[in-house]
Structure 1
Amino acid sequence: MKKLWSKFENWLELNCPEIVESFNEPAAETEIAKAEQKMGITFPNSFKELLLIHNGQRNEYPEQRFEYVGAIGNYELLTIEEIVDTWETMKELLDNKVFEDFDEVEALGPVKEEYWWNPRWISIATNGTGDDICIDLDPAEGGTVGQVITFWHDWEERKVISRSLEEWFGEITKCLEDGTYKLIEEDGELVFNNDGFMGE
């Protein structure tokens, strides 16, 4: 994961160094362990490696040329504190049976359809409007523990983006280097041409 992230960050440094400046300092291993204990799960090693490189990102730039753009295809990397806060909020809604009357989940790939939100999903990036990219530790049959999926707050689709964090970042860096994913100006703002690096 470290090599993949290094390639990704090098691309950002060359093409939009402000994004790199928005990354936080590394998380402490004690912070990671505390979050795991509170959520009752174990983070995949690849995600722990990422947190030990950067504990998410700030939604501001020291010197801002453009409006803020999240590093993960316009999605902002969450800090450990934000990950736990998101999990606690969703867990409370689940426990209060808020999701019981929601539409049935439409799974694109091996995602369990009985959960609108699953307490074994780790939100790792957000678009700021309640839509997240998650690591799925409880996949449906045929899935992979640690697969990367979408979560939409007002849409029932749950899509498997990739079988693992490493595989996903391998595809991201490939698509950035060959120009499939790129930064563009849209209405005076700098944005990625692919939201959340979700592919087609």
Structure 2
Amino acid sequence: MKQVWNEFEQWLKTNRPKAVGTLNEAAAESEIAAVEQKMGLTFPKNLKDWLMIHNGQRDEYIAVIENYTLLPLEEILYTWQTLKELLDGGEFEDFPEIEPIGPVKKEFWWNPRWISIATNGGGDDICIDLDPDEGGKIGQIITFWHDWEQREVIADSLEEWVTATISHTDH
């Protein structure tokens, strides 16, 4: 993961120089463990490694990957808790059925085993899927739209998602 981060930071310096200064310091292992406990989830090792290099970004609305900013631990937790409250309160029950593109479970509008790691600030997130459908991979990267039923697997892993961004120099 360190190698991927180093390449990503080099890419940022060239393509999104303003974003480099918005990256947070590393998260401590104990901080990650506390968030995992509150969520009742175990983060994949690559996510822990990622957060222990940079704990997301400060909230400065400078996107790093497409139009997404990277979430720090406290925002990962806050997003999860907010969506979990909505789920538990039955808010998603009348929502349309999910239209999966790739092996994403369609039983849930939002699945409590999805970890939001990036957001566009409008309720649409990039998530790590810890509960993929048959044929999927634990840790695959999926899209979550707050107002659209499509859920798409966009990468098999966090590393693959970041690497695809780097090789996509579209800016």
**Percentage of identical aligned residues:** 63
Matched with 1:41 is: 41
**How big is the alpha-carbon RMSD for the aligned residues of Structure 1 and Structure 2?**
1.0
CA positional deviation for 1:11: 1.5
Q: Residues 48-85 of structure 1: CA distance to partner in whole angstroms, max 9, x if unpaired?
A: 1110111111133xxxxxxx431121201001000001
Q: Residues 67-118 of structure 1: CA distance to partner in whole angstroms, max 9, x if unpaired?
A: x431121201001000001111111111111101000000000000000000
Partner SS, residue 153 of structure 2:
strand
Partner SS, residue 38 of structure 2:
helix
Between the aligned partners of 1:41 and 1:4, the Cα distance in structure 2 is: 24
What is the TM-score with the length of structure 2 in the denominator? 0.96
Between the aligned partners of 1:112 and 1:15, the Cα distance in structure 2 is: 35
Counterparts of residues 1-200 of structure 1 (less than 5 Å): 1-60=1-60, 68-176=61-169, 181-182=170-171
Deviates most, 100-109 or 163-172: 163-172
Between the aligned partners of 1:53 and 1:29, the Cα distance in structure 2 is: 11
Read off the aligned partner of 1:70 and give its amino acid letter.
Answer: A
Q: Residues 121-147 of structure 1: CA distance to partner in whole angstroms, max 9, x if unpaired?
A: 000000001000000000000000000
Read off the aligned partner of 2:90 and give its amino acid letter.
Answer: K
Instruction: State the 4+ residue runs in structure 1 displaced beyond 3 angstroms.
Output: none
Read off the aligned partner of 1:92 and give its amino acid letter.
Answer: E
Read off the aligned partner of 1:19 and give its amino acid letter.
Answer: A
Read off the aligned partner of 2:97 and give its amino acid letter.
Answer: E
Read off the aligned partner of 1:24 and give its amino acid letter.
Answer: N
Residues 4, 170 of structure 1: 8 Å contact kept: yes
Matched with 1:194 is: none
CA positional deviation for 1:173: 1.6
How many residue pairs get aligned? The number is: 171
CA positional deviation for 1:156: 0.4
What is the TM-score with the length of structure 1 in the denominator? 0.83
Larger Rg: 1
Give ranges in structure 1 of 5+ residues lacking alignment: 61-67, 183-200
Between the aligned partners of 1:99 and 1:79, the Cα distance in structure 2 is: 26
Partner SS, residue 148 of structure 1:
strand
Residues 146, 164 of structure 1: 8 Å contact kept: yes
